[in-house]
């Protein structure tokens, strides 16, 4: 059994915040943010909107595209590091709002690697024969956890959600192979320390703290590693890859790795100029947009890759069809 993607969907909050908007509140400018990150604008959700609200919008679109009814789902996984609350899980909140009455539901926490870890997890459930129809969502609202006085982080992130419906098939399509890994000793370079059981009163703040340069070095190293692992385990070559959809954090990371791996620009999907880093949502939003733009056709080989807090990283090789 293989896990095939039979529907995709995405959702972005309508409010656009440009680099010029940010230059009014912190000491930054459009040229710096564009040159150092590639980001031009990002979407920011209103105070009343929580992660499950965006997840529900993306999930409804993915379900519609798949042709499945909510009650046909057997499992819902929401990959997020900005859940609505510590419990119940965002996946259970979503299961309730979708009325997916026959589905189990849980959250998966792997920050910006979340969707790739989730895809590997969902595919494994399907390959084992445990479930046939799974809804997988990557959703984050990290703008709620930004220190809007810290120019080194508040310029980078945006909110969004992306979803896919996976279904069992006996054809050799869908998720062909996966790789996932963690380097927990590097965890301190990217944290959101407040609010957990070590600091329930948020004495350490409720904001993202990041040593950007360290994360950058990690990202270029592990993206290359995880692409190589995927290719090695299947005997495929870079030339056989039709589209690389990396986590959308910084265009310099993507350009560096693509060049090193010999992937030409037309085989690399980038939309971070519009949305910034949407964490677990970035890869499924990119997948949904690439499909809508006609960049993916039946039989294409895709590599989806993520990296992020943990630190974590992972990739999936997907044959479209
Ligand atoms: N505007 C203007 N100047 C700035 C800004 C800004 N927004 N941010 C930093 N600077 C300044 C710094 O203060 C520094 O000034 P100094 O030289 O006077 O000290 C200078 O610009 C250079 O700063 P660096 O941090 O060295 O800049 P760098 O080129 O490394 O870019 C960045 C910083 C964009 C954060 C980069 O390191 C990066 O993208 N890192 C990876 C982040 C990432 O990918 N995270 C993904 C995981 S997220 C998750 O899992 C939740």
Q: Are residues 187 and 86 in the same domain?
A: no
Determine the average pLDDT of the residues in 314-318: 98
For the stretch 230-287, pLDDT in tens is 999 999 999 999 999 999 999 999 999 999 999 999 999 999 999 999 999 999 999 9
Residue 32 Cβ contacting ligand 1 at under 6 Å: yes
Q: Are residues 136 and 12 in the same domain?
A: yes
Q: DSSP labels for 25-56?
A: TSS--HHHHHHHH---EEE---TT--HHHHHH
Q: DSSP labels for 71-101?
A: GG--EEEEE-SS-SSSSS-HHHHHHHHHT-T
pLDDT of residue 81: 97
Supply angle C-alpha 139, 143, 149, rounded to 5. 160
Q: Are residues 252 and 189 in the same domain?
A: yes
| Neighbour count for residue 308 (Cβ, 10 Å) | 26
| Residue 273 annotated among the catalytic residues of the structure | no
Q: Are residues 100 and 202 in the same domain?
A: no
Strands 159-169, 2-11: pairing kind: antiparallel
pLDDT confidence of 112, banded at 50, 70, 90?
very high
Domain of residue 92, CATH code: 3.40.47.10
Supply angle C-alpha 281, 283, 288, rounded to 5. 95
Among candidate residues 146, 171, 196, the one where a domain is terminated: 171
Residue 106 Cβ contacting ligand 1 at under 6 Å: no
Residue 112 Cβ contacting ligand 1 at under 6 Å: yes
Among candidate residues 171, 194, 226, the one where a domain is terminated: 171
The one catalytic residue among 133, 250, 277, 316: 277
Q: Is the pLDDT of residue 151 over 90?
A: yes
Q: Are residues 167 and 81 in the same domain?
A: yes
Please tell me the total count of domains within the chain.
Answer: 2
Nearest to 212 by CA among 295, 267, 145, 151: 151
Q: Are residues 179 and 163 in the same domain?
A: no
| Angular region, 38: left φ>0, alpha ψ -120 to 50, beta rest | left
Q: Are residues 273 and 233 in the same domain?
A: yes
Element holding 192 (H helix, E strand): none
DSSP state of 172: S
pLDDT of residue 205: 85
For the stretch 5-37, pLDDT in tens is 999 999 999 999 999 999 999 999 999 999 999
Among candidate residues 171, 189, 217, the one where a domain is terminated: 171
Q: Are residues 220 and 137 in the same domain?
A: no
For the stretch 34-80, pLDDT in tens is 999 999 999 999 999 999 999 999 999 999 999 999 999 999 999 99
Question: Under a CB-based contact definition with an 8 Å cutoff, are residues 227 and 315 in contact?
Answer: yes
pLDDT of residue 204: 84
Q: Are residues 73 and 221 in the same domain?
A: no
Average pLDDT over the chain, rounded to an integer: 97
Percent of the chain scoring above 70 in pLDDT: 100
Q: Are residues 192 and 313 in the same domain?
A: yes
Q: Are residues 104 and 86 in the same domain?
A: yes
Q: Token pair of 28, please?
A: 């930054």
Residue 229 Cα, ligand 1 centroid: separation in angstroms? 29
Question: Under a CB-based contact definition with an 8 Å cutoff, are residues 71 and 43 in contact?
Answer: no
Q: Token pair of 184, please?
A: 């927990």
User: 87 lies in which domain range?
Assistant: 2-171
Q: What's the CA gap between 84 and 302, in Å, rounded?
A: 31
Point out which residues pair with 4 in neighbouring strands: 167
The one catalytic residue among 112, 116, 154, 316: 112
Q: Are residues 100 and 197 in the same domain?
A: no
Helix axes 30-37, 251-261, angle to 10 degrees: 30
Element holding 122 (H helix, E strand): helix 114-127
pLDDT of residue 109: 97
């Amino acid at each position: 059994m293989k896990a095939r993607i039979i529907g995709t969907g995405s959702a972005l909050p309508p409010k656009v915040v440009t680099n010029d908007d940010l230059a009014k509140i912190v000491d930054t400018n459009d040229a710096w943010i564009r040159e150092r990150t590639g980001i031009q604008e990002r979407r920011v959700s209103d105070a009343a909107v929580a992660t499950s609200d965006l997840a529900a919008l993306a999930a409804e679109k993915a379900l519609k595209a798949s042709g499945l009814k909510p009650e046909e789902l057997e499992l819902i996984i929401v990959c997020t590091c900005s859940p609505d609350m510590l419990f119940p899980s965002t996946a259970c909140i979503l299961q309730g709002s979708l009325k997916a009455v026959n589905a189990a539901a849980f959250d998966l926490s792997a920050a910006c690697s979340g969707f790739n870890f989730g895809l590997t997890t969902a595919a494994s459930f399907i390959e084992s024969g445990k479930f046939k129809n799974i809804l997988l969502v990557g959703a984050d609202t990290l703008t709620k956890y930004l220190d809007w006085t810290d120019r080194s982080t508040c310029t980078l992130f945006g909110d969004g959600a992306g979803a896919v419906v996976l279904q069992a098939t006996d054809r050799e399509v869908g998720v062909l192979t996966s790789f996932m890994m963690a380097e927990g000793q590097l965890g301190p370079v990217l944290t959101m320390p407040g609010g957990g059981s070590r600091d329930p009163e948020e004495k350490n703040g409720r904001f993202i703290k990041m040593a950007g340069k360290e994360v950058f070095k990690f990202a270029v190293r592990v993206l290359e590693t995880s692409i190589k692992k995927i290719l090695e385990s299947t005997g495929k070559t870079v030339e056989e890859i039709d589209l690389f959809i990396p986590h959308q954090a910084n265009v310099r990371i993507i350009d560096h790795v693509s060049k090193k791996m010999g992937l030409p620009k037309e085989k690399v999907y980038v939309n971070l100029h519009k949305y910034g880093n949407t964490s677990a949502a970035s890869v499924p939003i990119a997948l949904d947009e690439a499909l809508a733009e006609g960049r993916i056709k039946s039989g294409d080989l895709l590599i989806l890759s993520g990296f992020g807090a943990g630190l974590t990283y992972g990739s999936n090789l997907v044959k479209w069809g």
